[in-house]
Amino acid sequence: MNKQLQLVMAMALLLLSVNTNAQYLQSDYYGFEDADINGDGSNLAFGWWITADANNHMIQSNEFASEGTYSLKIGSDDYSLNADKEWRADCGATAKIGSEPSVTIPGDYVLSFKVYIPSGDNTIVDKIKTIYSDPKDNYDDGVTNVWAQTQWDLSSVTVRDAWVTLRATINIPTVGTKAEKPKQIQLRVLGDYRPNSGAGYIYIDDIKLEDPIDTDNPDFIMDYSYFGFEYGPDSWWINEKHRTHAMLSTDEVATGAYALEVIADPDFAEDTKLPVSSTSGKGGYFKVISGSYYAASLKVFVESNKTYFSEFLTNVKAASGSGYQTIKWEVPSDIARDEWVELTQLVYYNPDDVVAGEPVLTEMAMTFNIPNVVGTNVGSMYIDDISFVKTEAHPVTFTLVRNDNGNPVSGASVSINNQNYITDNQGMCTTDALEVGEYSYTATKNGFYDATSTITVSDASTDFTVPLTADDATMVDGNEDFDYKIYPNPASALINVASPVGSTITIYSISGNKIKVLTNSSSLTTINVSDMAKGLYIVEIVSNETKVIEKVQIK
């Protein structure tokens, strides 16, 4: 038999004006701390009424607490929980406790509370039911008791020895003509247990009732708890047939209790995809403005020596289907394994069917294409903490000129923000959009000294002129038609040197120390530089009466 504990919280609510992001419960009281009856510390009481037969199974405990000192301990150290019994605890049973919720307008609200399950405990909480109602037996006014309920599935909460936050959006209906009636919360544990499973307890703390996220607020961007996957396994839609390969998991998390786990299986058919979508009904939406830039980021965790997705897509779209835009994420082949790595990119949100400047309330879908996997073993990749932050971003135009005569320098490389750009015949190159801030750049060209400095990208497009100074140490002596080439530059593992057969190739450190010397036996020589430290080096090529010298960057 399954051992089930059902918590039933009955909560009815006053109808008043609602403030944005208001919290409607006294946090200390609903955190199971002692209630200050008189408001001056002179009369403290637990304040929760518990039925006599539940006194041994529902108690205020200081063993574990999310905040403060106490939580509510629920469970049994024997087999006395009978299937036909019902434990019950009421808060606000007397007006002097002052615990009534202050909600005064019917509509949607968010209920949350925290659950703690100790490791090794045999009690398994399968479902929690919350009921919000008026205690109509306290009134003889003929007003119908109004209530709403939500059922929570905890079967996938495998986290132990940690507080896990549970959230749900609930709808509080109109209470009739007696909106001024006080309300209370009632907890009920219904007996349905596994007689051979042993004793066990769970702990509950920090019950909260709040306004849902106000998406009409101009400052709203996204619900970060939702896009950190903290709303639990049913908050993101996953096709039933794919749930063994895409799921909200507690195995590896960056923050909180959950992350999205996707299993890259190279045995899938090539047309198989794993779609994962947020659901607006449970808060899976964020707001972006067409024609704006966003700093997008998420965290990934790739298992060691396992198959993983080399790329995946995140798609944003409004519920109506408008405002659709695809964002591609590439997982680098040298990504660190068995640790969380943050991927970032600048996203320009500019869908064809939305006027620039118009805000769009969007949902998100992720697509993992099965063929795009790296490795041969089945393995998991985890995703957590998706973030979109609106930012100012603008392209930068560099103009490179000789410092002695002002002539443009074409074919030069400008390296900035991990990207390289090549100047045209006017000595100009334009970067991708850069977020407002300070950046370091390096301008390089064979025959010139490197130019390294910083620029500040402001709130508008920016032009920079960079003078380059001719480098007399980079020269061709002898034959002006000497044909050579050194590539790639920058290099990481290998460099290729194209030069006449019989040339002597010498690599020096920037301080003049000789690092490698070899004589080529063919017109193309490949040199392993993976054993050399990162930095700037000088490559010298000597053939007959001709010598060339060029700088090479090892990264």
Q: Does the predicted model carry a pTM greater than 0.85?
A: no
Q: Tell which residue, 260, 279, 253, has the closest CA to residue 340.
A: 253
Residue 220 in domain = no
Are 136 and 273 in the same domain? no
Residue 216 in domain = no
pLDDT digits (tens, 9 = 90+) for 330-361: 999 899 999 999 999 999 999 988 899 988 88
Residue 99 pLDDT class (50, 70, 90 cuts) = low
Average pLDDT of the chain to the nearest whole number: 77
The CATH number covering residue 516 comes to 2.60.40.3080
Residue 83 has pLDDT above 70, yes or no: no
Are 231 and 194 in the same domain? no
* Average pLDDT of the residues in 120-136: 60
**What per-residue confidence (pLDDT) applies to 15?**
22
The CATH number covering residue 429 comes to 2.60.40.10
Share of the chain above pLDDT 90, in %: 21
* Average pLDDT of the residues in 492-512: 85
pLDDT digits (tens, 9 = 90+) for 442-455: 999 888 888 898 88
DSSP string, 72-117: EEEEESSS---TT-EEEEEES-SGGG-------S-EEEEEEEEEE-
- For 26-30, 175-179, 534-538, 543-547, which range has the lowest pLDDT when averaged over its residues? 175-179
SS3 469: coil
- For 274-288, 361-375, 380-394, which range has the lowest pLDDT when averaged over its residues? 274-288
Residue 219 in domain = no
pLDDT digits (tens, 9 = 90+) for 283-294: 788 899 999 999
Are 424 and 362 in the same domain? no
Are 363 and 399 in the same domain? no
Q: Using alpha carbons, list the distances in angstroms from residue 37 to 43, 293, 406, 528.
A: 6, 52, 82, 78
Share of the chain above pLDDT 70, in %: 73
Domains of the chain: total: 4
Are 331 and 185 in the same domain? no
* Average pLDDT of the residues in 204-222: 82
Please say which residue of 358, 390, 422 terminates a domain: 390
Retrieve residue 336's tokens: 């660190």
Residue 218 in domain = no
Are 382 and 418 in the same domain? no
Full strand arrangement of the beta sheet holding 107-116: 58-61, 71-76, 200-210, 107-116, 163-172
Residue 313 in domain = yes
Residue 234 has pLDDT above 90, yes or no: no
**What per-residue confidence (pLDDT) applies to 189?**
54
Are 18 and 155 in the same domain? yes
Are 47 and 89 in the same domain? yes
Residue 86 has pLDDT above 60, yes or no: no
pLDDT digits (tens, 9 = 90+) for 391-422: 988 889 999 998 877 888 888 899 998 888 99
Residue 438 in domain = yes
* Average pLDDT of the residues in 508-514: 74
Residue 206 in domain = yes
The parent domain of residue 537 ranges over: 477-554
The CATH number covering residue 271 comes to 2.60.120.260
Please say which residue of 390, 409, 440 terminates a domain: 390
Are 13 and 86 in the same domain? yes
Are 385 and 401 in the same domain? no
Residue 268 pLDDT class (50, 70, 90 cuts) = confident
Residue 277 in domain = yes
Are 294 and 367 in the same domain? yes
Q: Using alpha carbons, list the distances in angstroms from residue 145 to 17, 139, 176, 323, 345.
A: 22, 10, 9, 44, 53
Are 204 and 242 in the same domain? no
Please say which residue of 468, 496, 523 terminates a domain: 468
